[in-house]
Structures are given as structure tokens and as C-alpha cells.
């Protein structure tokens, strides 16, 4: 067996830890809702002349999910949808999530509308389920509690992290303000005063930069892994304000804090630089893998530059359509196999190292980071 | 016939709509002037030890234009120039522009010194000619008119857009100020006052940021496609201030406005993100294709990431040497064929989709956007 | 002999001028110190669960240096270290530096702790040795001199540049403040006053932005080649503040000044843009080549976009482990051969041009720039 096939077989077989994912649709959804869920960046319907299927993600679904629904690869869109309806949402979800080969699901439970729970995901797909606590949700509970916000935040965070399924935290400060912030410590009194103002204003969505920083620093103090949404997301964010270099003051203060930079597109190189420079910084290119589809090989290759191999993680960041849970894994497996086969063919890596690094990224790094 | 050859044959044959181009040299020019026209970024002569031919563009001309002048590919520079002189400027222009396979030319008539008119271009090369109105030129007419600048601008813009050949507008705000601007609405009175000051100062070149914004917002109000020069250009601009993310406030206010981001290098990924996030945003990688030559495959591949396939356009942005009109098309055809063949070979795209997307980018998307 | 093998043979044989390098370890060092020297970005020890060998650099050492120590490629780390100890530091240094095929070493003598001198490097490895004067070191001598800092700086700079081995200057302003600076002229009186304050504060490390600009402008006035550290380096710098576009005000004022942008990762495209736009600007992708290892082909390819081929230079930026001196050359040779073979295979370049451009980058451009 040649090096190439050996690497590809390993990548086909290795179990992954999906260290950042959401629930899947398991109930029937309309085609309009399904299609809407495929457009990450936009928050409105497409014009009549456009189609969400004419994207790398749309092509990837037809190429890689169709066969799991007993269709030919590249089945046309109507045939794909008809077969989906015929099989039913639950069966489609079961087939696609199970085929992802996922051993553990670390589910962001910050936003769960219309999708299955972590336990349902694991029961359907196999593997264990774990939870990632979203800091902005903790903030919204804390502000509603009344009294000292700072104390309420820490108490709620401790309570959530004490639950056996909790393995880490996540922040979406990228969406709320971006990273161009004063990252310095926020005194309890300052947090309390800002929270009072926020509560008076309705207390709906935390978007005060200092309160966001307060929460992030509480999570770092708690010593748990902290995930940052970085780069690619919807148009509510300014992509350029989510360049992870803007985190550097915080990282310099906490170089060993266990941090995971999520997605990172198109800042993979900056993320790799930080992963090399700071002992605690990890990174993945999840979410973006699905959305760039056929171009995910190149994205995966870029993630294998400066970042030490023990700092790179796998995630799908799937939310809703179970196609996304499958594709995250399938595209990562195929793209990683292609990239590593190339390294081996060029004499840069040994075949044995290629398999070993694949396993590190697939699962071992996440198991160590999250103490699974 | 295999998938690869079928895709390449399709790319060789498909007619393109060059949605952003300028006139060609059809009169004889000196070798010095010709060479000067090949250096996009610089505005001065090269030192004696340098040569504009030792660039990707220079190599691309020798590789791809020489055969159309009956020379071997990679002919040496002196032989190329001698043959050019022998054939004459008009014959060279005819051969090269015709070989581009262009069905429609959308000509930016904002700067036309020494080059043929849109009608002459179409007569020589085949295809139809159309005009893109440059907003900064409209501004310069409006300021000269006296009276209310705001009214004069709108009137001149309406007059220009009412001409049958006019199909859209273009702004070079990237060169004048960059995109780091206050994009909010400019009241007529403010525009009038600023224009008075500009007129008093001589009224030569519009570079007041608010007047530039005024013109851009007028074009959006007019509902016509609006092209933005983005990224790569000459050294008068600060490349980092032309990151299209700096347009986001304007785009959030007008998410459906028909906008085309031109060139985009090295911000293709940011442009793709905006094309996915905003219904009206389109993009191309013209101009840069010619200047990166052998590396244009990689550039084209990067443009096929987040941008929906119905939002990607073709342009050469050629100006002056008809070599640029040919190369824009030739490199786009070859690079796109290579990239799409790769997607098909990897199982990511079907051959049929590859041909279909090639046609969308070559012409159909532009025909829909500009209502050709 | 086919085009591919001819290009590769040329790249294997061509002598390089390493226009930016440091001394090598020639005395025995502990394994801990050796490993520490392999982590460019970090300034502290790795956690127990990490390993500097599980990086692209670590894999590159095992792939490409092991055979020069009579081991199989990809030898395991313990075996590699044991063999290194067995051969002895001096023999290892001799073998690895000599195998780099370097004809001239331009050594940055700004920081020399624990490494050999330029003369020792050349004696061991072959080739000639030259010196690059670090401006920040000149500043530290000048402030210690007392009296007018401006006069002392110019006198010390002139003294250093008058030494026969001196061929240029280098600045690490990227580390000290980044490039987001006021680049305008600094009057002597202003420099003197700032230096007085700096001297009073201890005079250790120059990090006043205006004093840094003062020194840089003195070097430009002296007319010698000036190297800027750009992009990738240790975590003391803010990567985003070392985007070379932030140099543009200085470059516009001195478009012909002989400048070399070093490393540039991940701003290779911005560096290429500047190299095309300004007659005096050159660039390399040294240092980064070693640290991205198997991905250096892609990096080299990106450096061959906008930058004119007579403006691209070779460097290793090796410091300490002689593995870095060898790898800089070996990876550059292999990566350049692969990239150029691809250009020729695609019909974009002739084989003859490929060999010619390889020689320009390897040595001829540097010989011209530094008047070797």
C-alpha cells in the first residue's frame, strides 16, 4: 500500500472530536428555511435571480451528501430536496451526522432554536456530548438577577461550569463589538455600574465592550478553555475588526490561558502566528471549511503553516442542516488527506508523521485541551 | 472526451463580457511609452538596471501574445518589439483584441488619452460597446457648471445615464481618499458649500471625501450598477485603505444596491465575504489577473471561495496596450479552466456545473447586472 | 533532459547570496537551548505537552538536515539529537552551513550572543562575509557618547559604514514600535532632546518612535541599502502594525532609496505591490520559509506575483542552529524549482527565463543592490 492510500485510509477512519458545533435540524423544515440556513453571512432572503445552491457550499452538499441519501454525486437540487423529503428529516439527520465519524460533540448551547439538544445529537450520531457555555448568555442571566452584576456573573458562570457536561466557554465578542477593545481588567464596581445602565435600557443583548471584556476575563480566571469566534461570520460583524491580532494585549497578559481561535478565515496566518507565539493559543478553520467547499484543501494547507501541530483543532461549527455536520468532517478528512499526501510526496513529511499529526488534529489535541 | 478537455474547450470558446475595460492603443507608440503603460503601480520611469519585461506581465505577453503576432511563445523582447513595429499598431491591436473573444465591452470613459473610443474598440474587435460613467468626471463637470453643485451633479449624471450606451457608473474614490470615510448622507447644502470651496481652489480634481461620497450616493440612488476600484492600482493609493471592508457602513445601508468590486487584489477574500453577505455586491479579479500572470490561477481560485457564483464577473481592465485586452481574457480562460478541472478531478464539482459556472462568470452575470 | 529536471538541476547548483543572516552555533549547546532557538515567535519555554519538533520547522529539520548527518530522512528526534552530539557542534555546523551553497553572507551583527562571527561563518561554510549595521545599535552607541545625539549618531553610522565589510543597514523598528509612525523628518534639536530624556531614563533600548525614524532617515541619507524587518517575528511585535503599507509615507518621499523588506509574511502581496510601485524597494521571504517548511512552495509562489523579478532577494535569516542556515537555502532551492517548473509546464514561462530568474533571485539582484 502506497503512502498516499495509507494516509487517505487513515483520514477516512480516524474518529474526530468536533470541538465546536451546534445542534442539527431533526424536525421537518421548509425548503426556504433550509436554504436560508445555508447562507452564513447574510441575514435576509436572496433576490430571485440568485440561488444559495450556486455556491461552494451548495456544490459540496450535492457532491458529498447526495450519495448518503442514495443519490448520485452532484444530483440536481430538486432531486436532492425531493429525496430529503422522502427520507424524512430525522432519517436524513441520522445518516448524515452518523457518517461524520464523530467521537465527541462539544456543543455551543448559546443558541438552540429549532435544533436538537447535545444529548439528542450524540444519541443519533454516536459519540459523547459535552457543552460549551456561551459567555454572553451568562451575562444576560446575570443582569436579570439584579444585585451586583459582577458577583452574579461569577456565580452563574461557576454554576454552569460545575455541570458535568460543561467543558469550556465561548465568546461572540467578535459579533458584538469586534476585537478593537480596551482589554484591561474591569473592576467589579465598573461592571456593576455598566450593568445597571444596561438593565435600565432593557437588558436584552450585552454589547457593552467593557462588560464583554469582564466576562472574558472571568472565563480566563476560571481556567477553562475559552473559544473566540474569529473572522468569517455574518454581516453583523466587521470582518477586519475580528483579526485575532487585536487580541494581543489580552494574550500577552495571559499567554498560557487555554484559548481556541475558531474559524479564523481569512486570518489563518495571523492565528497561526499567535498559536506559535503563545503557549495557550489553539486554532481551527471550522465553519470556513464548509463554506469554501472545493477550496477547503487550500484553507487547511494554510492552517498548517506557523501553528504548532499540537495547537490545531477540528470543528465543523455546523448549525441546523445536518449536511453541515457531515461536510465539516468529510471536507476536513479529504482536504487534510490531500494536503498531507502532498507533503509526503514532496519528501517534507514522513508518512508516519502525517498519520500522527492527522490524529492530533482530529481528536487528541481537543481531548487534551478540554480534558475529555 | 474527458472532463478536463471538455472544460478547457468550453473555456476556450465561451464569449466574455468585459464589464470593465478602457480603450486600446491603435496609433503607433514609442517603445518607452509602451513599456511605461505596462507598469500599473509606478508613475515614474524604471532605473536602468530594471526592466518591465522581467515581471509576470512581461512574461505573459511573451508567452501568450507572441504567437498571435506569428512569433514563437516566449520570443525575446527585441524580436517581439520588432515584429510589433513591422505589423503596425493598428494590425497588432486588431489581432489581439479580436482574439480575446469578447462579446461586449463596457468601457470606462473617464480617462481616454491616447486610446481608441468604445465604438472603435468594438468595430475592431467585434462585440458591442457600452459605457461606464466615471463619477469623478461628472463631479468635475458639475463644479464647472456653477450654481448648485448638488443639482448640477444630479442633472449631469442623469444626462450621462440617459445616453443609450451608458450601462453603469464607476468611482475611483480608492485613489482619491481611500475607503476610510464617513459614508453617511451628504445634504445638498453641504455639497454645495464644499463645491464652492473646491471651485474657488481651482476645481481641478475632486478629492474632498464628502463630495466623493455625495456622488457615490447619487449613483446608488439612481439605481444603476456602480463599480468601485478596490485594491491593486498605482502608488497614489494606500492599498490598506482600499480594503473593501471599509465600505461596510455604506453596504449595510444599501444591501441590495447593484455594486461591483473591481480587481480586489489582495482583498479577494474580503470581497467574497461581502458578495456573500450583501445581495447587491458582485466582484471580479480583473487587472490583477494580468499583473500576476502565471500566478493568476491561484488568484482565480481565491475568487471562487465565499462569493456566490452568480456574483462573480469577468473583466480585463485593460488600458492602452492591446496585449492587456487579450491577456485579461486569455489568462482568465486558462486559469479558470485549470481551477475548474481541479474541482472536477477532485469530485467536488460536476463537469456540467463547471461549464455552467464558467458561462455565468464569463458573461451571463454581467448581462443580468447591466441589463445588456 | 526535460524542462523540469533542468530547472531543478540549476536550482540545486546555483550559488546564493544570503543577504540577511546571523551567526551560527559552533559551540556545544544544550538540547533545551537548541530547541528554544527553534521557536521564533515565543520568548518562553513550551508547556510539557507541546514540542517544538511538532512544527513545520521541526519536520523540515528531520527531512532535510538528517541526511547531512548521515541519518535517514525523517529520523526520529532522539536519534537526530544523539547523532548531533556524536558529531559535535562544530562538525554539524560545518556540514550544514557548507551544504547551503552560499557564496556571500551578509551578516546582521546587531545581536551576536552565542554565535560565530561573520568571518568564522565564511571560513567554515565557504563564501565571503559582509556586515549589515543595525541602526538601533548605532543609536545605543550614540546615546552613550553624550553631546549632540544627532551628531554622534551620524558619526557612528559613518564610522561603521566606512568599514570595508559593511554593505548596508538594518532596522528593527518593527519590534520597537511597529510602522504606524510619523515618518516625517526629525530635526537634530528634536533628536537631541529626545535622546537626553532617553539617556536620563537609562539609555538601554531605543524605543522612541521619533529617534527610530531619525536613524532610519540618516541611513537613507547615507544612500546605503536599508533592510526593514517586516511581518513575522516574535510576539513582542504586533504583526498587524508591521504591514509594510504603513511605510508608504516614507517610501513616497524616497521612492528610489535602496530598501529591502525582509520576511514579509503574511504581507508578501503588500510587499510585492510596494516593490512594483517604488523603484528602490526590494523584498524577500526569508525566515518565513524555514518556519512554514513544507508550505514554503506556496510562500515562494506568492512572492512571485507583483514584485518585479529584479527586486526579489534570497535570505535565510538563520540565527543559531546551523540547521536554519541550511534549510533557508535548501527549502528556497526546492520550492523555487517546484514553482518555476509549474510555470514552465503551464506554458507561462520559458525554461531559459526560469533559470535566469532563479539566478537573479539567488544572487545577482543582491550583488547589484549591495555592490558586492
Cβ contact B306–A46 (<8 Å) = no
- What is the DSSP track for A205-240? S---HHHHHHHHHHHHHHT--EEEEES---TTS-GG
Reading the block at residue A347, the C-alpha cell is 519528501
Check the CA dihedral C160-C165-C168-C171 and report its sign: negative
The answer to whether residue A167 is domain-embedded is: yes
Low-confidence ranges of chain A (pLDDT < 70): 1-4, 41-43
Torsion of Cα atoms, B140 then B143 then B149 then B152, to 10°: -70
CATH of residue C237's domain is 3.20.20.140
**What pLDDT is attached to residue C203?**
74
Residue B363 per-residue DSSP state: I
Strand partners, A282: A260
What is the total residue count of chain A?
Answer: 372
Strand partners, A129: A105
**What pLDDT is attached to residue B110?**
83
Residue pairs spanning A and B at CB distance below 8 A:
93
**Is any Cβ of chain B less than 8 angstroms from the Cβ of A301?**
no
Q: Which residues 330-369 in chain A show a CB within 8 A of chain B?
A: 334, 338
**What pLDDT is attached to residue C118?**
97
Q: How far is the alpha carbon of C313 from chain A, nearest alpha carbon, in Å? A: 22
Q: How far is the alpha carbon of B56 from chain A, nearest alpha carbon, in Å? A: 23
**What pLDDT is attached to residue C3?**
65
Q: Please, how many CA atoms are within 13 Å of residue C230, restricted to the half-sphere of its CB?
A: 29
The answer to whether residue C354 is domain-embedded is: yes
Cβ contact B310–A239 (<8 Å) = no
For residue B56, pLDDT over 90 is answered with yes
B283 contact partners, CB below 8 Å, separation of at least 6: B260, B261, B262, B264, B268, B271, B272, B274, B275, B303, B307, B311, B312, B313
**Is any Cβ of chain B less than 8 angstroms from the Cβ of C311?**
yes
Residue of A nearest to B302 (CA): A295
- What is the DSSP track for A306-325? SS-GGGB-------BSHHHH
Q: Which residues of A touch C41 (CB under 8 A)?
A: 273, 276-277, 306
Determine the residue among C47, C235, C236, C243 to mutate to test chain A binding: the one whose Cβ has the most chain A Cβ atoms within 10 Å. Answer: C235
Out of C256, C308, C368, the one facing B55 most closely (by C-beta) is C308
Q: Which residues of C touch A300 (CB under 8 A)?
A: none
The answer to whether residue A296 is domain-embedded is: yes
Out of A243, A252, A273, the one facing C41 most closely (by C-beta) is A273
Check the CA dihedral C32-C38-C42-C48 and report its sign: negative
Cβ contact A352–C74 (<8 Å) = yes
Out of A278, A343, A357, the one facing C235 most closely (by C-beta) is A278
C224 contact partners, CB below 8 Å, separation of at least 6: C161, C166, C167, C168, C169, C258
Q: Which residues of C touch A251 (CB under 8 A)?
A: 235
Residues of chain B with pLDDT > 70, as a percent, come to 98
For chain B, list the contacting chains (3+ Cβ pairs, <8 Å): A, C
**What pLDDT is attached to residue B5?**
80
**What pLDDT is attached to residue A2?**
64
The answer to whether residue C36 is domain-embedded is: no
Determine the residue among C239, C245, C306, C339 to mutate to test chain B binding: the one whose Cβ has the most chain B Cβ atoms within 10 Å. Answer: C306
**What pLDDT is attached to residue C88?**
98
**Is any Cβ of chain C less than 8 angstroms from the Cβ of B74?**
yes
Determine the residue among B248, B305, B367 to mutate to test chain A binding: the one whose Cβ has the most chain A Cβ atoms within 10 Å. Answer: B305
pLDDT in tens, B181-232: 999 999 999 999 999 999 998 878 999 999 999 999 999 999 999 999 999 9
Q: pLDDT confidence of B130, banded at 50, 70, 90? A: very high
Q: What are phi and psi of C326, to 5 degrees?
A: -70, -45
Q: Which residues 248-267 in chain A show a CB within 8 A of chain B?
A: 265-266
| pTM for this entry | 0.97
For chain C, list the contacting chains (3+ Cβ pairs, <8 Å): A, B
Give the Cα separation of A305 and A269 in Å (integer).
7
Cβ contact A306–C292 (<8 Å) = yes
Q: Please tell me the total count of domains within chain A.
A: 1
Q: How far is the alpha carbon of C354 from chain B, nearest alpha carbon, in Å? A: 10
**Is any Cβ of chain A less than 8 angstroms from the Cβ of C315?**
no
Q: How far is the alpha carbon of C263 from chain A, nearest alpha carbon, in Å? A: 14
Mean pLDDT value across chain B: 96
User: What angle (nearest 5°) sits at the alpha carbon of residue B361, between those of residues B359 and B364?
Assistant: 65
Q: Which residues of B touch C248 (CB under 8 A)?
A: 235, 238
Give the Cα separation of C108 and B196 in Å (integer).
56
For chain A, list the contacting chains (3+ Cβ pairs, <8 Å): B, C
**What pLDDT is attached to residue C43?**
65
The answer to whether residue C144 is domain-embedded is: yes
pLDDT tens, per residue, chain C with 372 residues: 466 689 999 999 999 999 999 999 999 999 999 999 998 766 677 899 999 999 999 999 999 999 999 999 999 999 999 999 999 999 999 999 999 999 999 999 987 889 999 999 999 999 999 999 999 999 999 999 989 999 999 999 999 999 999 999 999 999 999 999 999 999 999 999 999 999 998 878 999 999 999 999 999 999 999 999 999 988 888 999 999 999 999 999 999 999 999 999 999 999 999 999 999 999 999 999 999 999 999 999 999 999 999 999 999 999 999 999 999 999 999 999 999 999 999 999 999 999 999 999 999 999 999 999
SS3 content of chain C, % helix, strand, coil (to 5): 55, 10, 35
**Is any Cβ of chain A less than 8 angstroms from the Cβ of C128?**
no
Q: Count the neighbouring beta carbons within 10 Å of the beta carbon of residue A61.
A: 25
| Burial grade of C32 (CB within 10 A; 0-12, 13-18, 19 or more) | exposed
The answer to whether residue B144 is domain-embedded is: yes
Question: Where do we find the cell 468532517?
Answer: A329
Give the Cα separation of B183 and A10 in Å (integer).
52
Strand partners, B131: B107, B166
Determine the residue among A277, A353, A365, A366 to mutate to test chain C binding: the one whose Cβ has the most chain C Cβ atoms within 10 Å. Answer: A277
Cβ contact B279–A49 (<8 Å) = no
Give the Cα separation of B327 and C146 in Å (integer).
61
Give the Cα separation of C34 and A111 in Å (integer).
47
Reading the block at residue C237, the C-alpha cell is 511585535
Q: Which residues 24-63 in chain A show a CB within 8 A of chain B?
A: 39-42, 44, 46-47, 49-52, 54-56, 59-60, 62-63
The answer to whether residue C75 is domain-embedded is: no
Q: How far is the alpha carbon of C295 from chain A, nearest alpha carbon, in Å? A: 6
Q: How far is the alpha carbon of A368 from chain B, nearest alpha carbon, in Å? A: 32
The answer to whether residue C305 is domain-embedded is: yes
Q: What are phi and psi of B74, to 5 degrees?
A: 70, 20
Query: Containing domain of residue C223, as a range?
Result: 2-26+99-369
Q: Please, how many CA atoms are within 13 Å of residue C247, restricted to the half-sphere of its CB?
A: 31
Question: Do C230 and C244 touch, CB atoms closer than 8 A?
Answer: yes
SS (H, E, C) C195-222: HHHHHHCCCCCCCCHHHHHHHHHHHHHH
Cβ contact C276–B55 (<8 Å) = yes
pLDDT: which is higher, B212 or B2: B212
Amino acid at each position: 500500500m502506497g503512502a498516499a492510500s495509507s494516509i487517505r485510509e487513515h483520514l477516512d477512519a480516524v474518529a474526530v472530536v468536533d470541538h465546536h458545533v451546534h445542534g442539527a435540524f431533526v424536525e421537518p423544515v421548509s425548503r426556504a428555511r433550509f436554504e436560508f440556513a445555508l447562507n452564513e453571512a447574510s441575514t435576509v432572503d436572496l433576490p430571485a435571480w440568485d440561488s444559495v445552491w450556486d455556491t461552494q457550499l451548495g456544490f459540496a452538499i450535492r457532491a458529498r451528501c447526495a450519495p448518503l441519501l442514495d443519490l448520485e454525486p452532484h444530483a440536481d437540487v430538486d432531486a436532492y430536496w425531493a429525496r430529503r423529503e422522502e427520507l424524512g428529516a430525522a432519517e436524513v439527520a441520522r445518516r448524515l451526522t452518523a457518517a461524520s465519524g464523530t467521537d465527541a460533540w462539544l456543543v455551543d448551547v448559546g443558541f438552540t432554536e429549532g435544533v436538537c439538544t447535545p444529548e439528542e445529537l450524540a444519541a443519533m450520531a454516536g459519540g459523547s456530548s459535552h457543552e460549551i457555555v456561551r459567555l454572553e448568555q451568562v451575562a444576560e442571566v446575570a443582569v436579570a438577577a439584579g444585585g451586583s452584576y459582577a458577583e452574579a456573573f461569577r456565580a452563574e458562570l461557576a454554576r454552569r461550569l460545575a455541570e458535568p457536561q460543561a467543558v469550556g466557554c465561548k465568546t461572540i465578542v467578535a459579533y458584538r463589538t469586534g476585537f478593537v477593545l480596551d482589554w484591561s481588567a474591569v473592576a467589579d464596581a465598573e461592571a456593576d455600574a455598566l450593568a445597571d445602565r444596561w438593565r435600565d435600557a432593557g437588558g436584552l443583548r450585552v454589547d457593552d465592550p467593557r462588560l464583554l471584556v469582564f466576562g472574558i476575563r472571568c472565563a480566563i480566571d476560571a481556567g477553562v478553555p475559552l473559544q473566540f469566534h474569529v473572522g468569517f461570520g455574518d454581516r453583523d460583524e466587521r470582518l477586519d475588526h475580528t483579526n485575532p491580532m487585536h487580541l494581543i494585549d489580552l494574550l500577552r497578559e495571559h499567554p498560557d490561558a487555554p484559548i481556541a481561535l475558531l474559524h479564523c478565515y481569512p486570518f489563518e496566518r495571523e492565528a497561526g502566528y499567535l498559536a506559535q507565539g503563545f503557549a495557550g493559543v489553539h486554532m481551527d478553520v471550522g465553519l470556513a471549511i464548509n463554506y469554501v467547499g472545493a477550496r477547503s484543501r487550500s484553507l487547511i494547507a494554510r492552517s498548517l503553516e506557523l501553528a504548532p501541530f499540537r495547537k490545531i483543532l477540528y470543528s465543523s461549527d455546523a448549525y441546523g442542516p445536518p449536511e453541515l455536520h457531515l461536510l465539516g468532517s468529510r471536507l476536513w478528512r479529504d482536504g487534510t488527506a490531500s494536503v498531507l499526501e502532498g507533503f509526503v510526496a514532496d519528501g517534507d513529511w514522513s508518512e508516519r508523521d502525517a498519520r500522527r499529526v492527522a490524529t492530533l488534529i482530529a481528536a487528541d489535541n481537543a481531548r487534551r485541551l478540554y480534558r475529555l
